[in-house]
Amino acid sequence: MACFIVFEGGDGSGKSTQARSLLRRLRRRGIKVLRTREPGGTPLGQSLRLLLKSGEPMAPMSELMLFEAARAQLVQQVIRPFLDQGGVVIADRFTSSTMAYQGYGRGLDRELIERLNREATGGLEPDLTVLLDLPVETALGRKGSGKSGGNGDTFDDAPVDFHRKIRRGYSALAASDPDGWLVLDGQRPPEELSREIWAKVQTIL
């Protein structure tokens, strides 16, 4: 019953909380499940993550290539083999993050990103993408208060307008594939969101 579920959303949208909660529900039922995060998830991905978060000034194109490099490694080394063994993979971020951040946010060519996404993943697509959507101000406020003023996240210091573009990007992506996306209001209580996500995942499993 291989199944690939991706959580997407802006910084501070509550993705990790929901991914953890889904992981617990699946584990409790004895389902073979693995959680990954991007960038990261492999030794190479971890090194690329450090580079991306180093604060080193980076051309948007370099940034794009590093995210794609981390993804190619993660898919080949971890995600694909696990799915091939019939497991469920829960990913914090995947190809749509690149489209939202580097495409809609940075303004890089979206056709190029689509192509790179396809090549890096060998065409692997999620069975479900869960989007946690909430107003940019609310999300950034959460980060500020929850993580004592920024933890070195790549886009912590980006202007609010950049985060707005990302939110619009995600909405456009979800609207173009309503069957593949579950869009939820990230301001709702976490337990309620978790139940709704679980109900949807059960229909897929």
Of residues 16 and 202, the one with the C-beta less far from ligand TYD? 16
Residue 89 main-chain phi, psi, to 5 deg: -110, 130
- Going 72 to 104 to 174 to 158, the CA torsion angle's sign is positive
Residue 1 CB, nearest approach to ligand TYD (Å): 26
Stretch of residues binding ligand TYD (CB under 6 A), selected from 24-32, 73-81, 121-129, 153-161: 153-161
21 lies in the binding site for ligand TYD (CB under 6 A): no
Question: Interface with ligand TYD includes 97 (CB under 6 A)?
Answer: yes
Q: Which residue is nearest to ligand TYD (CB)?
A: 101
Report the nearest approach of ligand TYD to the CB of residue 162 (Å): 10
Nearer to ligand TYD, 86 or 150 (CB): 150
Number of residues interacting with ligand TYD: please give it, by CB under 6 A: 15
Distance CA 129, CA 146 (A): 25
Integer Cα distance of 121 and 113 in angstroms: 12
Span of 133-141, 148-156, 180-188, 195-203 interacting with ligand TYD by CB under 6 A: 148-156
Asked if residue 98 binds ligand TYD (CB under 6 A), the reply is yes
Closer residue to ligand TYD, CB minimum distance, 20 or 37? 37
Q: Does position 93 bind ligand TYD by CB under 6 A? A: yes
- For position 127 contacting ligand TYD by CB under 6 A, the verdict is no
Query: Which of residues 11, 35, 89, 169 is near ligand TYD by CB under 6 A?
Result: 11
38 touches ligand TYD by CB under 6 A: yes
Residues that bind ligand TYD (CB under 6 A): 11, 16, 37-39, 67, 92-93, 97-98, 101-102, 153-155
